[in-house]
Structure 1
Amino acid sequence: AVDVNKNSSLSINGSSNIVNFTLTQSSENFIQKNMIITASQNDKKLYLSENRLIVPVKRFTSSNKMALRDFYKLLKSDEYPTMDIQLNHIDLPENPKLATGVAVVDVTITGVTKKYQFPIKTEKNGTRYIFDIEKHINIRDFGLEPPVQMMGMLKVDEMININLKMICNIQPAESAQLNLSGSSE
């Protein structure tokens, strides 16, 4: 069983020639708090049963209201209200003691899907895990043009940084089944 901490979040960081900006969204908007996830391994690839995030675009927040408005407009949030992140699998490190891996994901923005490899860093303390998944991507990959404002004086960089930080309590299936034994399905 996986219990996702409310401090988990997805953030998008960008910059312009004038100011940097961060758009953030709590994982409560796109991840169930309690999940039963089945994991299977084939060679050095890990497959998870719960492997899709549907992220509502208009649930992002930012202290930079102009950047947020431009982000909604850039992603055509009325026409495409969600971004989809589909985990294909995780490539596990050769050395099992390393707390890293690579998530192979399909990211869909404005109806355009691109495959990426997102590095994963993992911290473990008992049953508490922190997964830090981060990648720079080019918005032009999705056919999007970086916004230009104020007659060209403000230009947004085409590179953005996507960061998914998940803080979870993970119990092995045996423990989870014991905890669920009183519930009916």
Structure 2
Amino acid sequence: MIRSYIMGLALMISSNLMVAQDSYRNEIISIQPHSELIIAGSTNVNKFDCTFDIELISSPIAIAYQRKEDLVKLKDLKLSLRTSGFDCGNKRMNADFQDLLMSHKYPAIEIEVKQLELIAGDYQKAFLQVTMAGKSKQYELPVLVKDDFYKGKLRLNIRDFGLEPPRKALGLIEVNEIIKVQFDLKVAR
């Protein structure tokens, strides 16, 4: 009788520990206005930067996370970047950028952060899912994390999302299919 009581107690304690290890913690974060997010690209003639209006994603975001040793799993940490929030420097470039991203049909680029893994020192590896023009792709990239600043670059091939590099001036100017998403985000808790 005592033996089955001890076994039952041990089972309850171990199952409670397993639940505690698998539970997510909740926190509210916000991306601060002095953050930067830029899509950089090039043509066979020139380079261009399209800067995102950070105010569009500065509202508080509820996140859920679970920390296990050097790994932080995140639940539902998604950034929705309205394509109309990018400024490429002039109206014509903005219109071309909107056309490239098919913003009339897909008005947002979705970035979901799945997890972060400590690499070394101030560097972590971010596991992301990017959805653009209705197609999703998984990425891993190093991110410098220092004092709630998250800084990194992600190289994307627009063809992976079913997008075709546009040609201008009777085909004399062609956009490179590789673009870089550069970010320097300050997060407040």
TM-score (norm 1): 0.80
| Residue number in structure 2 paired with 1:54 | 80
SS of 1:68's partner is helix
CA offsets 1:18-47 (integer angstroms, 9 cap, x no match): 111100112221242x34544311343212
| Residue number in structure 2 paired with 1:23 | 50
Q: Name the CA distance, whole Å, in 1 between partners of 2:159 and 2:29.
A: 35
| Residue number in structure 2 paired with 1:112 | 135
| Residue number in structure 1 paired with 2:180 | 161
The answer for unaligned runs of 5 or more in structure 1 is 171-185
C-alpha change, 1:48 and 1:27, in structure 2 (3 Å) is farther
SS of 1:151's partner is coil
Q: Name the CA distance, whole Å, in 2 between partners of 1:31 and 1:6.
A: 7
CA offsets 1:109-166 (integer angstroms, 9 cap, x no match): 0100000112211222xxxx21112111111111111111111111111110001221
Q: Name the CA distance, whole Å, in 2 between partners of 1:69 and 1:42.
A: 45
The answer for unaligned runs of 5 or more in structure 2 is 1-27
* Matched pairs, number: 162
Code of the residue aligned with 1:105 in structure 2: it is L
| Residue number in structure 2 paired with 1:65 | 91
SS of 2:170's partner is helix
Give the counterpart of 1:130 among 149, 158, 162.
149
Q: Name the CA distance, whole Å, in 2 between partners of 1:82 and 1:38.
A: 23
Code of the residue aligned with 1:57 in structure 2: it is T
Q: Of Structure 1 and Structure 2, which has the larger fraction of its residues in helix?
A: 2
Q: Name the CA distance, whole Å, in 2 between partners of 1:114 and 1:36.
A: 24
Give the counterpart of 1:99 among 122, 131, 145.
122
Give the counterpart of 2:108 among 59, 74, 82.
82
Q: Name the CA distance, whole Å, in 2 between partners of 1:79 and 1:146.
A: 17
SS of 1:66's partner is helix
Structural RMSD (CA): 1.8
SS of 1:51's partner is strand
Cα contact 1:21–1:64 (8 A) shared by 2: no
Over the matched positions of the two proteins, sequence identity in percent amounts to 28
Query: Equivalent residues in 2 for 1:144-155 (5 A)?
Result: 144-155=163-174
Cα contact 2:33–2:58 (8 A) shared by 1: no
Question: Which shows bigger deviation, 64-73 or 145-154?
Answer: 64-73
Q: Name the CA distance, whole Å, in 1 between partners of 2:62 and 2:107.
A: 27
Q: Name the CA distance, whole Å, in 2 between partners of 1:54 and 1:35.
A: 11
TM-score (norm 2): 0.78
